[in-house]
Amino acid sequence: MISFMFGMNLICRMLKFFSGIPLITSVRNNEISNLYFWLYRISYNIDTLSTFNSEYALKKFIAQKLTNPKKSVLQNNAIKISESHSNSNKTKVFTIISLAHFRPQKDYITLFVAIKILKDKNIPVKLFVLGHTFDQKWPFDKLKSMEIEELVSIVGFVQNTGEYLQAADALVLSSLWEGTPNAILEAMAHKLPVISSRIPGCESLVLNSECGFLFEKQNPEQLAERIVGMMQISEKERQDFGQNGYQYVYDNYREEVVYKQWLTLIKRAIKSAA
């Protein structure tokens, strides 16, 4: 069995306990609730193997005694590499994109305030937001009250984000916490520079790949400065950020590489249970 997310991992541990079927669990978030914490503490040794998609989460869970170091593995997400990076659809207005559902963790308030700051300084920018709103009205009400409706387009959930990524000049992620965010990986796969909050998972991606800028979380003033900074550097420098990110994700996260790693893990789990 292979399971993802805390709740399903716990359910599959019970199945493994009674059936003996090898189990590989996957942790894809750096934060764990108090309830899951204690359930994890008493059950982690049931796993045949435990995988983590960020080095920060792996080290944190080992330190908190929530995983067995001998059974724990860092396993990257798999990303489909874009074969097209055309920017023919780009507009004259500097365009940024955010790929995240409207959950508190994503901290869209900080991003909206940053856009408001730019508007007040007469700095032209356009933001496209791709992600589920879950029928919430507050995002639209917030845009209206801040008078930035014309600058922010909430598109909603989009299955194929490639068209929007190719038309954008940079991706922004304002999250409070992440594991290893697919939003940044997808931007890198499309050779798009990144502006991200300085949080575990995001920070290591941006710094290791040299694909963009970081800002302190919940700091809209600094985020606005980073957006301006991205606008003011040369097109060549933005292209270099994009190429750096692309090469990093190609080497470490592309599907062909990650699927081979998963196959090795599955064989290892089966062998250990034999």
Q: pLDDT value at position 127?
A: 98
Residue 70: what residue type?
K
Q: What is the mean pLDDT of residues 132-139?
A: 97
Q: Stretch 78-99: mean pLDDT, rounded?
A: 79
Please say if the pLDDT value at position 119 is more than 70: yes
Q: How confident is the model at residue 185 (pLDDT cuts 50, 70, 90)?
A: very high
Terminal alpha carbon distance of the chain? 15
Domain 95-252 is classified in which CATH homologous superfamily? Answer: Glycogen Phosphorylase B; (3.40.50.2000)
Q: Are 127 and 203 in contact (CB under 8 A)?
A: no
pLDDT of residue 85: 58
pLDDT at 91 over 90: no
User: Which SS3 state, helix, strand or coil, does residue 232 take?
Assistant: helix
Question: Sign of the C-alpha dihedral, residues 222, 228, 172, 108?
Answer: positive
Contacts with 178 (C-beta within 8 Å, 6 or more apart), sequence order: 29, 30, 54, 105, 199, 200, 201, 202
Q: Which secondary structure element, helix H or strand E, spans residue 174, and what is its range?
A: none
Q: What's the rounded mean pLDDT across residues 228-235? A: 97
pLDDT tens digits along 30-45:
999 999 999 999 999 9
pTM across the whole model: 0.90
Q: Does pLDDT of 66 surpass 80?
A: yes
